[in-house]
Amino acid sequence: MKTPLAAIDLLIEPSWIAAVDPDVVLKNHSVAVHAGRIIAVLPTGEARNRFNPGKHVVLEDHLLIPGLVNLHTHAAMSLMRGLADDLPLMDWLQKYIWPAESANVSPQFVYDGTRLACAEMLLGGVTCFNDMYFFPEAAATAASELGMRAMLGITTLEFPTPYANDADDYIDKGLAVREQWRNHPLIGFCLAPHAPYTVSDASFARILTLSEQLNLPIHCHIHETRQEVVESCRQHGETPLARLKRLGLLGPGFIGVHAIHLEEDDLELLAATGCSIAHCPTSNLKLASGIAPVARMRQLGINVGLGTDGAASNNRLDMFGEMRLAALLAKGSTGDASALPAREVLRMATLDGAVALGLGDETGSITPGKAADLVAVSLNGLNTKPCYDPVSHLVHAAGRECVTHVWIAGKCCVDHKTLAGNGQNDLESALALWQNRLEVRRES
C-alpha cells in the first residue's frame, strides 16, 4: 500500500537555496513549511513524493535565502527621508532632525513612518528589523499589521522630547509597552540607550540592571565620529567604549552601532567581551563619519551584522545595497580582494544579525525547526545572467528589485513583488500630509 503524502501548508521549490547554516548552496532542493516553521529541506523529487502541500510555489531561476535582518534602523524617520542632506552628523541632528522631531513626533507620526519603513523593507527582503525610536507602541502596531518581525528599542535619552521627560520616564514608558506586547510572537524589545554622549552613568546603571533582570539586549550608538571620542575623553577621561566597560555594559548582549573610530585595543575589547556590532556602511559614508574596520572585526571573531540606519540619513532601507557596499568597503579599505566574500556578507545580513538580537535559534538561516522567514530572489534578468554563483550574484549583481516573494513565520507578506493585504492608498494619503507639514516647517 502506498504511504499517504503528509499534509503541509507550503512547499517552496526554487532553483537554489542558500541555507547560511549550514553554509551550503543547494540546487534542486525544496523547503517544506508547516505551522509557520521549516520542517524539512530536501531534494525536490523526494519532497514531491513525501508532501501534499496546501500551497506549492515553484520558483524557476530563483535563489531562496533566509529573511534579511536589519540590525539597526530608526523606522519612523522614513518620514524625514531627504529632509536634510549633505550635512555632518551633529549639524544634521542639532539643526534639523531634533527640531523637526520636537515639532512633529507623535504616535501617529511613528505609526505612519513605521508603516512606510516596513513596506519598503518587506519589498526589499527584510523580515526582521531592530528599531530605536519613540512611541514604540505605535511602531509595534505598525509592524504587526504588516506581519514583520521587530525588535523595538526602549529608547533612552536624558533630555525631554514629545515622548518623555527624562531617562527614567523613557525607560518606564518603554517597559510598559513591552509588558503589553510581551506575548506577541513577532514583537520583541531591546534596551536602547541612544549614545554615551546622551546618556548618564546613572541611566546606564539602571539599563544594565534591567538587561540582566529581563534578559534584554542593549542597543547603543558607539564611536560613530572622532568628535564623539575626543569629547568623551575630555569629559570623562576615557573613550566611550572604556566608559561602557567600566560601567559593565559590554558583553554578549551588547550591540554597538557604527563602531567606526576604533583603535586596536578597542577592537580587542569588543572581541574579548563578546559584543556584536551593527555595521551601517551607507549611513557612515553619507554622514562622512568614516569606514568601520569590519574586516579586522571579523578576523578577531566579533559578531557583525548589517543595518541601514534610518532613511533620514541613508536614504534607503536597502539591505541589498548594504551587503554590496560592506563587501566593497572591506576590500577597498584593506587592499585585500578576498575580504568579506559574498557568503560571509550574506551571513552578516541574516544569521549574524539574528544572533546579535538573541534570535539565532528562531531565524536567520534555512534550518529545520526555525521560523519560515524566507525570501525569494529572481536571478532571471539579463543583469543576472549568466549565473555561475548565485550568492555572488545576490551580493554583487542583484538588487532589492529582484525580490519576488517574502514569507515571515510561513505567512506570505510579499507575493510576486506585491505587498499582501491592503491599506497602501491610506498610507500614501498619510505620507502626503506629513510631507506638507514637514516641508512647511523646514521653509519657515
Q: What is the pLDDT of residues 215-261, one digit of tens each?
A: 999 999 999 999 999 999 999 999 999 999 999 999 999 999 999 99
**Triad 93, 95, 100: Cα angle to 5°:** 80
Pick out the chain residues at pLDDT < 50: none
d(C-alpha 442, C-alpha 30), whole Å? 52
Q: Give the up-direction half-sphere exposure of residue 238: CA atoms within 13 A in the CB hemisphere.
A: 10
Name the strands in the sheet holding 68-73, side by side, starting at the edge strand that comes first in the sequence.
68-73, 126-131, 149-156, 187-193, 218-222, 254-258, 276-279, 303-306
Say if domain 68-356 classifies as CATH 3.20.20.140. Answer: yes
Per residue in 356-414, pLDDT tens? 999 999 999 999 999 999 999 999 999 999 999 999 999 999 999 999 999 999 999 99
Is residue 346 a contact partner of residue 323, using CB atoms and an 8 Å limit? yes
**Strand pairing class (418-419; 411-415):** antiparallel
pLDDT of residue 92: 87
Q: What are phi and psi of 260, to 5 degrees?
A: -95, -50
- Alpha-carbon span 328 to 245, nearest angstrom: 32
Q: Is the peptide bond before 136 cis (omega within 30 degrees of 0)?
A: no
Q: pTM for the full model?
A: 0.97
Instruction: Show the CA angle centred on residue 128, arms to residues 424 and 83, nearest 5°.
Output: 55
Alpha-carbon distances, residue 296 vs 25, 50, 163, 316, 358 (angstroms): 26, 46, 39, 27, 23
Measured between alpha carbons, how far is 197 from 181 in angstroms, rounded to an integer? Answer: 30
d(CA 23, CA 347): 9
Domain ranges of the chain: 6-66+365-409, 68-356
The answer to whether the beta carbons of residues 65 and 374 sit under 8 Å apart is yes
Contact by Cβ (8 Å): 305, 348: yes
Which among 176, 130, 199, 30 is positioned nearest to 364, based on CA atoms? Answer: 130
DSSP structure string for 342-400:
HHHHHHIIIIIHHHHTT-TTTSSS--TTSB--EEEEE--SGGG-S-S-HHHHHHHT--G
- Residue 90 has what pLDDT? 85
Distance of CA 200 to the CA centre of its chain: 26
User: Could you give the CA distance from residue 136 to residue 401 in angstroms, rounded to a whole number?
Assistant: 29
Give the burial class of 23: count Cβ atoms within 10 A of its Cβ; 0-12 exposed, 13-18 middle, 19 or more buried: middle
pLDDT at 439: 80
End-to-end CA distance of the chain: 80
Nearest CA to 350 out of 114, 134, 63, 33 is that of 63
Residue 188: count other Cβ atoms within 10 Å of its Cβ.
Answer: 22
The residue behind cell 547554516 is 21
Beta bridge partners of 12: 31, 57
Using CB atoms within 10 A of its CB, is residue 87 exposed (0-12), middle (13-18) or buried (19+)? middle
Q: H/E element holding 153?
A: strand 149-156
Amino acid letter, residue 336? D
Which uninterrupted H or E stretch holds 104? helix 98-104
| pLDDT computed for residue 88 by the predictor | 85
SS3 173: helix
Decide if domain 6-66+365-409 falls under CATH 3.40.1010.10. no
